[in-house]
Amino acid sequence: MPIVNVEGIGQVNFPDSMSPEQISSAIQKDILPQFPDLAAKQSRTMGEIGTDVLASVGSGLGSLAQFPGQVYGLVTGDMDSSGLQHLGRNLHQYS
């Protein structure tokens, strides 16, 4: 019996005779409707996905912008959070 770990639900056993496509269909049609909160999380709009991608990029750029200031602070001992390091921290937190 194939055991499939369904996120948010746990491990679910399926008969050996089921194909992967049938298992996926059974999860979508039979299991997820029993958990409306999980089904709502899995159906996301393209706008929500785009927003998440932009937030991740902004967070990464903020972390990257902080790097030169952090290296300078480690080398000199001057951990002043101004300039690019401050801007990077703000961008990271905002994203």
Can you give the pLDDT of all 95 residues of the chain as single tens digits? 678 888 778 888 888 888 888 888 888 888 878 877 765 666 667 777 777 788 888 888 877 777 887 787 777 777 776 677 777 777 777 76
Shared-domain flag, residues 64 and 79: yes
Shared-domain flag, residues 53 and 85: yes
Shared-domain flag, residues 23 and 59: no
Number of domains in the chain: 2
Per-residue confidence (pLDDT) for residue 95, from 0 to 100:
67
Per-residue confidence (pLDDT) for residue 42, from 0 to 100:
60
Shared-domain flag, residues 54 and 38: no
Per-residue confidence (pLDDT) for residue 1, from 0 to 100:
60
DSSP result, the chain: --EEEETTTEEEE--TT--HHHHHHHIIIIIGGG-HHHHHHH---HHHHHHHHHHHHHHHHHHHHHHHHHHHHHHHS-----THHHHHHHHHHH-
Shared-domain flag, residues 37 and 60: no
Per-residue confidence (pLDDT) for residue 92, from 0 to 100:
73
In which domain, by residue range, is 86 found? 46-94
Per-residue confidence (pLDDT) for residue 78, from 0 to 100:
73
Class of residue 30 by CB neighbours under 10 A (exposed 0-12, middle 13-18, buried 19+)? exposed
